[in-house]
Structure 1
Amino acid sequence: MKVTIREVAKQAGVAPSTVSRVIANSSRISSKTKARVRETMEALGYHPNFNARNLVNNRTNMLGVIIPGASEVAFQNPFFPEVLRGITTKAYTAGYGLALSTGQTDEDIFNEVKQMVQSCRVDGIILLSSKIDDQIIPYLLEQQFPFVLVGRPDNIATKNITYVNNDNVKAAKLVTEYLLLLGHEAIGFIGGQQEAIVTVDHAAGYEQALHNAAIPMNRDYSVYYQEVLEGGQQAVIELMSLEKPPTALIVADDLMALGVLRMLDEMQVSVPEDISVISFNNVMLSELSSPPLTTVDIHIYELGQKATDALVEKIQTPDIEAKTIIVPHRLIKRQSCKKLDHLAPSK
């Protein structure tokens, strides 16, 4: 005979509604009660009918994850597998599957988001980036559809958007100040795509640090490329072709920085003896590069975890207020930066 929710509730010493909330992984139920109810379910051999429950609750138990740009390009960057690892861990614990976007252009991705919303394919959406004049965020706000952003919104209705981010202005200011303390003043900035909000924030932190040090901005030292190996290589060619090349480089992320190191090696420019390089993200390749990269650890895995927790909470408690979650960053010093020797003869 099939075990019922009422029998589980009686055995666990809770109300049937509590059992239902445990099945839905409601944040309103304590972890101790959840453990007791789940143990009882297992002991009695109770298996929830998720399909029936989803039909009643109008839930799919699926989360949409929107990856920026062409997916084959995005997955060249270790940031995305790592943030997805954090998302997957929390989604599994909460009983959700994932539906990843596969669009190759901005328009493809926007249409895919609309299809997810209108066809009720997912219960909520995690956006893995934001950019200037983004069309996805206004659409989701208009539809009042649950979503969480990894990154910072472009100043549109920010108070209504839950987002998980690093303080990227502060992080970029930190790395610039670190290079200044090492004696560098000719500091190049290799940003990612200019319309990306993270790039906007990195540039702002870089400029703030130079301004505070009373060092004039040299616009020739700021270049922007796609966050792939080739982008870093092209950026180095542009910067090292200047009449007075930088003595240090700030790079948007570790993958680009690997391209930077490779091209500098081809040019027979030694790191850090001839030029210092510092980047962001602290993915595995930053430690394995030659030389190992000084970088900023932005705790990518934690970004994914916290975004998923926040989205599940929004789905289960629709009236909850929007929140801003800032994940701390940390400078990881390795061997790609060196104090500038002002006494060394110019080349």
Structure 2
Amino acid sequence: MTNTIKDVAKKAGVAPSTVSRVIADSPKISAKTKMRVRAVMEEIGYYPNVHARNLVNKRTNVVGVIMPSASYAPFHNPFFPEVLRGITAQANEGKYGLYLSTGQTESDILEEVKEMVHSRRVDGIILLYSTKADTVIPFLLEENFPFVIVGRPPELLEDTVSYVNNDNIKAAKMVTEYLLLLKHEKIGFIGGREDAYVTLDHKEGYYQALCEAGVSVNEQYLVYHDEVFEGGEQAVIELMAKQDPPSAIIVADDLMALGVLRMLQSMSYDVPKDVSVISFNNVLMSELANPPLTTLDIHIYELGFQAAELLREHIQTPDLPAAARVVGHRLVRRSTTKAYRNE
């Protein structure tokens, strides 16, 4: 026989309405009463009907997570499992489930987001990408639907949209300055999607560091490819085919950097003796690379955790003003960078 709220109330010596408020974690109920009621619930094996409660509250207790379009192979990149790990940890704390979505194209993503919003399948959305021509952000703003970006929105919307991001200009400036301190001046730049704000910000930081050091920007040293292993291979072929190839390379992503290292090795370049390589993200494979990869740790888990936390706040308080959170970074020096020697 299934136990009911009335059974819990009777055994705990409280009214059924009090049990309902304990289940909803109402601040009007004392901690002592909550402990007593929860102890009885556990003792008799009573589990609340979450679906019924959500119908009353007009909530699903589900968060939508939107990946980049499948054409950019997001599941190939270890950034996404790690950011999802952070999102999941926070979602579990708030007893939220996740609805993971990725479309084959940008238009597929927009259509699925529209369906999620109009059918009220989720309470809020986390976007794991941010690009210049994105159509999802304007739609979500128009619908006044809770959402948070991992990345940053367009400059005109920075006071309107909540987001969690690194200071990617400062981060790219740091890695460029590090190579400059190692006496490199011919520094290549391998960016990811050219329309992604993270790429634009990395490029800006790269420019700033070179200009402040009095080093001319060589536009031939800038190439862009998808953030996958093969993208790194193709990009480094382009760079090293230049008449005067770079002595150091900044790579947008660790997975791309592994492709860079593999291709440099196949072309008989010694890393870091002939070419220094530095990357972003500090995923596990960067430490296991051969040689171990110098990279910038952007605390991916924390990006996901804080994005989920911020979205939860917006779901619980719909009128909450837009907020921006910036997660720090740190340089992890390993074996792919070395001082330049003109031999």
Cα offset, 1:72, TM superposition: 7.7
Give the equivalent residue in structure 1 for 2:324: 324
Cα offset, 1:156, TM superposition: 3.3
- The 3-state SS of whatever aligns with 2:141 is helix
Deviations 1:258-281 (A, max 9, x none): 000000000000100000000000
Q: Contact 1:9/1:19 (CA < 8 Å) preserved in 2?
A: no
Structure 2 Cα separation of the partners of residues 38 and 315 of structure 1 = 25
Q: For the structure 1 residues 7 and 133, does the alpha-carbon distance in structure 2 shift closer, same or farther, using more than 3 Å as the test? A: farther
Give the equivalent residue in structure 1 for 2:24: 21
- Unpaired runs of 5+ residues, structure 1, are none
Give the equivalent residue in structure 2 for 1:315: 315
Over the aligned positions, Cα root-mean-square deviation in angstroms equals 2.5
Cα offset, 1:291, TM superposition: 0.5
Q: For the structure 1 residues 78 and 118, does the alpha-carbon distance in structure 2 shift closer, same or farther, using more than 3 Å as the test? A: same
Q: Contact 2:61/2:97 (CA < 8 Å) preserved in 1?
A: yes
Q: For the structure 1 residues 320 and 199, does the alpha-carbon distance in structure 2 shift closer, same or farther, using more than 3 Å as the test? A: same
Q: Contact 2:88/2:98 (CA < 8 Å) preserved in 1?
A: yes
Cα offset, 1:21, TM superposition: 3.5
Q: For the structure 1 residues 15 and 319, does the alpha-carbon distance in structure 2 shift closer, same or farther, using more than 3 Å as the test? A: farther
Q: Contact 2:199/2:252 (CA < 8 Å) preserved in 1?
A: yes
Deviations 1:267-323 (A, max 9, x none): 000100000000000001100111100000111111111111111111111111211
Normalised by the length of structure 2, the TM-score is 0.92
**In terms of mean alpha carbon deviation, does 152-161 or 278-287 score higher?**
152-161
Structure 1 Cα separation of the partners of residues 32 and 275 of structure 2 = 55
Cα offset, 1:55, TM superposition: 1.1
Give the equivalent residue in structure 2 for 1:92: 92
Deviations 1:90-147 (A, max 9, x none): 2122111111113111111111111110111111100001011211111101000010
Give the equivalent residue in structure 2 for 1:211: 211
1:158 maps onto 2:158 in alignment:
yes
Q: Contact 1:150/1:307 (CA < 8 Å) preserved in 2?
A: yes
- The 3-state SS of whatever aligns with 1:159 is coil
Cα offset, 1:45, TM superposition: 3.7
State how 1:181-192 maps to structure 2 within 5 Å.
181-192=181-192
- The 3-state SS of whatever aligns with 1:169 is helix
Structure 1 Cα separation of the partners of residues 228 and 182 of structure 2 = 28
State how 1:212-251 maps to structure 2 within 5 Å.
212-251=212-251
Deviations 1:200-256 (A, max 9, x none): 110000000001101111000011100011110111111101110000000000000
Q: Contact 2:5/2:19 (CA < 8 Å) preserved in 1?
A: no
Runs of 4+ in 1 over 4 A off after TM superposition: 4-12, 14-18, 28-40
Letter in 1 for 2:201: D
Give the equivalent residue in structure 2 for 1:142: 142
Question: How many residues are treated as equivalent by the alignment?
Answer: 339
Q: Contact 1:3/1:44 (CA < 8 Å) preserved in 2?
A: no
Structure 2 Cα separation of the partners of residues 271 and 8 of structure 1 = 71
Q: Contact 2:223/2:235 (CA < 8 Å) preserved in 1?
A: yes
Cα offset, 1:157, TM superposition: 2.2
Letter in 1 for 2:62: M
Q: Identity rate of aligned residues, in percent? A: 59
Structure 1 Cα separation of the partners of residues 332 and 169 of structure 2 = 17
Letter in 2 for 1:73: A
State how 1:107-146 maps to structure 2 within 5 Å.
107-146=107-146
Letter in 2 for 1:91: A
Letter in 1 for 2:5: V
1:265 maps onto 2:268 in alignment:
no
Structure 1 Cα separation of the partners of residues 198 and 228 of structure 2 = 15
Cα offset, 1:70, TM superposition: 0.4
- The 3-state SS of whatever aligns with 2:25 is helix
Q: Contact 2:186/2:248 (CA < 8 Å) preserved in 1?
A: yes
Structure 1 Cα separation of the partners of residues 12 and 320 of structure 2 = 28
**In terms of mean alpha carbon deviation, does 319-328 or 197-206 score higher?**
319-328
Q: For the structure 1 residues 36 and 284, does the alpha-carbon distance in structure 2 shift closer, same or farther, using more than 3 Å as the test? A: farther
Letter in 2 for 1:265: Q
Structure 1 Cα separation of the partners of residues 170 and 250 of structure 2 = 14
Q: Contact 1:164/1:303 (CA < 8 Å) preserved in 2?
A: yes
1:285 maps onto 2:281 in alignment:
no
Q: Contact 2:18/2:29 (CA < 8 Å) preserved in 1?
A: no
Give the equivalent residue in structure 1 for 2:51: 51
